[in-house]
Amino acid sequence: MPRKTIFKDLGTVDYQKAWDMQTELHNELKEKKLAARKANLNPELKHYLLFVEHNHVYTLGKSGKIDHLIYNEQELSDRDIQFHKINRGGDITYHGKGQLTIYPIFDMDDFYHDVHKYVRDIEAVIIQILDKYSIRGYRRPEYTGVWVKDGDIEKKICAIGIHLSRWVSMHGLAFNVNTDLSYFEGIIPCGISEKTSEVCSLQSLLKQSIDLDKIKEQIKDSFQSVFDLVYIQQ
């Protein structure tokens, strides 16, 4: 059966506000599941898919190294960039305007118990979207995320970092659509310092600004297809 999912486009919000909302929904799903089990009932499962653009922020995952943040406190302040240490996997990344950040709050009991497959399925969503623009997206075995070839250079267009507790997910992916790539100069993105690897955006590849609303609808449909979702009203 398709998984009932509530879709929310939050617009542009500070990272902390979105993190607080994620945490609230994440805890809600865990608590309902625990209460149902104590009552020997099947929980009424529903999931959330949140779309957001953030104000400028660097986030450092629990396995990341603070040395991968290049800018000092004054440089962060001068550029109006926030910084948060958070509980997702992965290293350091950037979020900002023109980038679509997506948070699936899924109870994986309703899907499957396979973290590796979950990440691969998220990557599949973005690979499907890139195909619509005649761009071949692919995975690299040693890293998470989605990559493309631009000439001889491998470039990362989508970063992924997740957290699961009691098989309920939070955090997710950041897809560079019209992102100002200069903000990646303040970090070593995802901790990858290879000279042959860079960060790119859909805009930089296609040499034109992209309709973000159109991309949102395409990604919403792709999530529905890959994860077998049905969108419901709250």
Distance between CA 68 and CA 192 in Å, rounded? 9
Tokens 């100002």: give the residue: 180
Torsion of CA 228, 120, 66, 197, to 10 degrees: -130
190 annotated active-site:
yes
Residues near 192 by beta carbon (within 8 Å), at least 6 away in sequence: 91, 143, 156
Residue 37 CB burial class (10 angstroms; 0-12, 13-18, ≥19): exposed
Residue 202 CB burial class (10 angstroms; 0-12, 13-18, ≥19): buried
Q: End-to-end distance of the chain based on CA atoms, in angstroms?
A: 19
Inter-helix orientation angle 115-132/212-227, to 10°: 140
Active-site residue identified among 190, 199, 205, 219: 190
Catalytic positions, written as ranges: 190
